[in-house]
């Protein structure tokens, strides 16, 4: 088991570096010049300024040398300095990541606790009204565009009904808690500041629902399909023939088998949430990685883009590794 883990981790590291190479090449072939994006028209018309600026950021060096410099920095735990914010990329990411992690994790948990029971119920009471409701919910979740859903939610619950707070992680007048993890929910509990905790929770509700919507749909559908397949298996009939209660049969015999495909999907979905909250974060003014990504891309901020790529690919690889490890927990046939 340990050897498998070490081999997989080493493999993941190699994959992550390869991902940076791909992104490096793509980012450099994109038409567009960071000079124009950063200096503005006036300064960009002065060749001396441009040359100086290029030299400062190392843009005058050959492509391979720039990638080599990036790798050398990476080996020292240095992702370079962001052109736009003029701060180390690692610091930027450390600042923005907690907001995204908090939002995505809550959205993911929300998707799990809604999607899995809904999928189970839909499969157990197949073709009943429960199944119909589940189908409608998952259809809405999967098919509504995120930005549209975000605006509708804000307009209805914040603008119209006024039962939800506005955008942002906290009320403008509230003070953020002392930073320990950067996750407001955790930090407020650590500080014992229940008022801010409540504020943070209420600000999470709308963006978490919006972000979770598509995932709820996917998880509901996958759970339902996997449950239906497992319900049709012979061991379920055997369990009934043994006189086991129906609830016991569903939870102890069917569900563990049905969870295997759900875990695969769940892992991918969580990685997706972490990496893909751009739309939701923009609409809800959520100071997370999604907005940082968007800003960096618009500004052609190479060091920042490379740093984000690395973080995203490492996230995907780690989540995948966790998924593979959890197979061994769920399915004894995979264990060695």
Partner 1 sequence: MTASDRREAKPEAVPVLEVEDLRTVFLTDAGPVRAVDGVSFTVGAGETLGIVGESGSGKSVTALSLMRLLEEPARIVGGRLRFQGRDLLAMRPDELRALRGDRMAMVFQDPMTGLNPVIRILRQLTEPMTGHGRFTPPEARRRAIGLLGRMGITAPERSVSRFPHEFSGGMRQRVMLAMGFANDPALLIADEPTTALDVTIQAQILDLLRQLNAEFGTAIVLISHDLGVIGSVCRRVAVMYAGEVVEEAPTAEVLEDPRHPYAWALVNAVPRIDQPLGADRRLVSIEGAPPDALALPPGCRFAPRCPFKVERCEREHPPLAEVAPGRLARCWVTQAGQVLPKSGGAGFGGARPAPAAAEPLLSVRGLVKHFPLPRESFFAPKRVVHAVNGIDLDLKRGETLGIVGESGCGKSTLARLVTRIHAPTAGSITFDGQEIASASPAAIRPLRRRMQMVFQDPYASLNPRMTIGDTLAEPLVAHGLARRGAEVRERVGELLATVGLNPAWVSRFPHEFSGGQRQRISIARALALQPELVVADEPISALDVNIQAQILNLMLDLQQRMGLTYLFIAHDLAVVRHLCDRVAVLYLGQVMESAPAEALFARPLHPYTAVLISAVPVPGRTRVVLQGEPPSTLVLPTGCPFRTRCPIARPVCETPPPLAEHEAGRWAACHFPGEFGHAGVAA
Given the rule CB under 8 A, which residues bind partner 1? 3-4, 233-235, 237-245, 248, 252-253, 256-257, 330-333, 336
Q: Taking the CA of residue 196 as centre, how many other CA atoms within 13 Å lie in the half-sphere pointing to its CB? A: 20
Shortest separation between residue 3's beta carbon and partner 1, angstroms = 7
CB-neighbour burial class of residue 135 (10 A; exposed 0-12, middle 13-18, buried 19+): middle
State in angstroms the smallest separation of the CB of 326 from partner 1.
13
Closest by CA position to 111, among listed 258, 261, 205, 215: 215
Whole-number CA gyration radius for the chain: 24
Q: Which two tokens stand for residue 139?
A: 């259809």
Locus of tokens 């905790």: 197
* Phi, psi of 264, rounded to the nearest 5 degrees: -55, -50
CA distance 96 to 291: 9
| Beta-bridge mates of residue 81 | 88
Taking the least distance from each CB to partner 1, the nearer of 87 and 252 is: 252
Nearest CB to partner 1, comparing residues 62 and 243: 243
CB of 243 to partner 1, least distance (A): 3
CA–CA separation, 231 and 123 (whole Å): 9
Name the residue nearer to partner 1 (CB basis): 11 or 40: 11
Question: Which of residues 200 and 231 has its CB atom nearest to partner 1 in the complex?
Answer: 231
- Minimum CB–partner distance for residue 223 and partner 1 (Å): 16
Q: Which is nearer to partner 1, 198 or 237 (CB)?
A: 237
Q: CB of 233: closest distance to partner 1 in angstroms? A: 6
């Amino acid at each position: 088991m340990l050897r498998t883990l070490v081999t997989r981790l080493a493999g993941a590291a190699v994959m992550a570096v390869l991902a940076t190479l791909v992104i490096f090449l793509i980012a450099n072939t994109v038409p567009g010049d960071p000079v124009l994006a950063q200096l503005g028209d006036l300064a960009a018309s002065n060749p001396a300024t441009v040359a100086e600026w290029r030299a400062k950021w190392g843009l005058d060096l050959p492509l391979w040398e720039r990638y080599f410099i990036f790798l050398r920095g990476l080996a020292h735990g240095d992702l370079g300095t962001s052109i736009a914010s003029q701060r180390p990329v690692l610091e930027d990411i450390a600042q923005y990541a907690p907001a995204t992690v908090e939002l995505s994790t809550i959205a993911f948990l929300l998707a799990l606790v809604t999607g899995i029971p809904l999928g189970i119920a839909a499969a157990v009471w197949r073709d009943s009204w429960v199944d119909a409701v589940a189908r409608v919910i998952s259809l809405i979740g999967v098919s509504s565009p995120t930005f549209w859903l975000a605006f509708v939610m804000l307009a209805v619950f914040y603008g119209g009904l006024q039962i939800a707070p506005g955008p942002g992680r906290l009320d403008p007048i509230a003070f953020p808690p002392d930073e320990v993890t950067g996750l407001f929910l955790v930090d407020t509990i650590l500080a014992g500041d229940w008022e801010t905790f409540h504020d943070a929770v209420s600000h999470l509700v709308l963006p978490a629902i919006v972000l979770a919507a598509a995932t709820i749909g996917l998880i509901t559908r996958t759970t339902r399909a996997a449950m239906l397949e497992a319900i049709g298996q012979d061991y379920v009939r055997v369990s009934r023939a043994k006189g086991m209660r129906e609830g016991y049969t569903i939870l102890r015999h069917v569900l563990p088998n049905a969870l295997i495909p759900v875990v695969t999907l769940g892992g991918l979905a969580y990685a997706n949430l972490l990496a893909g909250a751009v739309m939701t974060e923009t609409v809800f003014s959520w100071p997370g990685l999604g907005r940082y990504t968007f800003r960096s891309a618009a500004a052609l901020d190479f060091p920042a883009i490379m740093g984000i790529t690395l973080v995203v690919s490492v996230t995907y690889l780690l989540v995948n590794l966790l998924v593979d490890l959890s197979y061994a927990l769920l399915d004894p046939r995979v264990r060695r």
